[in-house]
Amino acid sequence: MQFVVSRVIPYSRPALHYILFAMPTLNSDQLYALSVRILEGAGVPAEDAAIVAEELRSANLVGPDSHGVSRLMQYVHMIEDRAVRPFGEFEIVREGPAFAVADAHFNLGQVAASKALRIATDKARSEGVASVMIRNCNHVGRLGSYTCHAAHEGFAALMSVNSPGPGGVAPFGGLERKLGTNPISLAAPTQKSALVLDMTTSATAEGKLRVAHQKGEMVAEGLIIDGHGQPSTNPAAYYESPVGAILPLGGPLLGHKGYGMSVMIDVFCGILSGSGVGRDDLPRGANGVWLLLMDIDRLLPRAEYDAWIEKYIEHLKSCRLAPGFNEILLPGEIEEHRAIQRSESGVAIPEETWRQITGLAERLGVPLD
């Protein structure tokens, strides 16, 4: 573990004049070990802690730090509040040859989503196409992780999540939190890797606001409004009373498009899974999940598919470049580049995130050696 001194702050107690705030850089193994220790310290079974830790590490390596180890504080607080129930049963409530509906009983979302992916994989191998819904599921992390895994197994994959509760996103033309960020991911294999789209239907993910808030940074214009309905670039406006809201994807001009996508995700992930929408009787963080897999080899010969994909990639990459651009990037390519770089150099943890993690570890009695 490497440390970079980021700032020195005067301390209020006379005996201690300064506290040294350090920003550590953690490698892949350290990210994983850190997450396992804290999750097990919070009472998560070892097998489940390993699943969640792997997803957090993966998120930090490919780049959306909002879904990495910074989530540990949230998960532990939700466990302590009984919003997350680590021993919740993954129950199949409805099932057919090509579909299943499961109840995660508020267990950790990564655990439930990993089980759903295995079920969908088996059913799609058998039937060609499979759809799995999950109700009462908690935060599943980075959707692109699951669709990418499916793509590497030869599937075209779609995954989406909604929040049955009020969420943090205002509908187009509204000022109140009525929708979740309602992300969606689609992935398809290539000969060398996979195309992976992973996006929210909101102008930004809440986790990115959280990271910016912890770093003391402003965010771009057009992402959020404050509690009075005014545009803001201060992420604190989202969290402080009166709370603000995230705008739909497209912002004040084209937000009707992101809003429309979000509404339909509420229908597919919320209503069809049995989670419902617009509810205020569920624990914080409850989600509805939709996972769809298509076995490419059952739709057309894989060699034919690969030939079309490679021709399409060449078609896009050959495009004349706009000023300031060095190449045409495919969906998921930025994350692949970043994973290579971060696997070598490690992941810098913001000082406020590290302060919270070390405080949490101390409270749980977990050593961070």
Q: Supply the pTM of this predicted model.
A: 0.91
Sequence-ordered list of residues with C-beta below 8 angstroms from that of 134, at least 6 positions apart, any chain: 101, 102, 103, 104, 112, 113, 116, 273, 287, 288, 289, 291
Q: What is the enclosing helix (H) or strand (E) of 290?
A: strand 287-295
State residue 17's pLDDT score: 31
State residue 11's pLDDT score: 32
State residue 211's pLDDT score: 86
The matching CATH number, chosen from 1.10.1530.10, 1.10.760.10, 3.30.870.10, 3.30.70.260, for 2-81+346-364 is: 1.10.1530.10
Backbone angles phi, psi at 91, to 5 degrees: -110, 125
Is the sign of the CA dihedral 150, 188, 291, 88 positive or negative? positive
State residue 19's pLDDT score: 37
Task: Kindly list the averaged pLDDT for each block of 10 residues, start to end, along the chain of length 369.
Answer: 44 33 87 98 98 98 93 96 96 98 98 98 98 97 97 98 92 96 97 96 91 90 96 96 96 93 97 94 92 97 97 98 97 96 95 94 93
CATH hierarchy code of domain 91-203+247-300 = 3.30.1370.60
State residue 293's pLDDT score: 98
Instruction: Please confirm whether the linkage preceding 367 is cis (ω < 30° from 0).
Output: no
The rounded distance, in Å, linking the Cα atoms of 103 and 219 is 36
Count CA atoms within 13 Å of residue 233 on its CB side: 5
Report whether 68 contacts 207 (CB < 8 A).
Answer: no
Backbone angles phi, psi at 215, to 5 degrees: -85, -10
Strand-pair partners of 131: 99, 292
The rounded distance, in Å, linking the Cα atoms of 246 and 167 is 10
List the domain boundaries for the chain: 2-81+346-364, 91-203+247-300
The rounded distance, in Å, linking the Cα atoms of 46 and 36 is 8
State residue 4's pLDDT score: 46
Report whether 165 contacts 282 (CB < 8 A).
Answer: yes
State residue 23's pLDDT score: 78
Residue from 137, 131, 200 nearest 164 by CA = 137
Sequence-ordered list of residues with C-beta below 8 angstroms from that of 361, at least 6 positions apart, any chain: 37, 38, 41, 367, 368
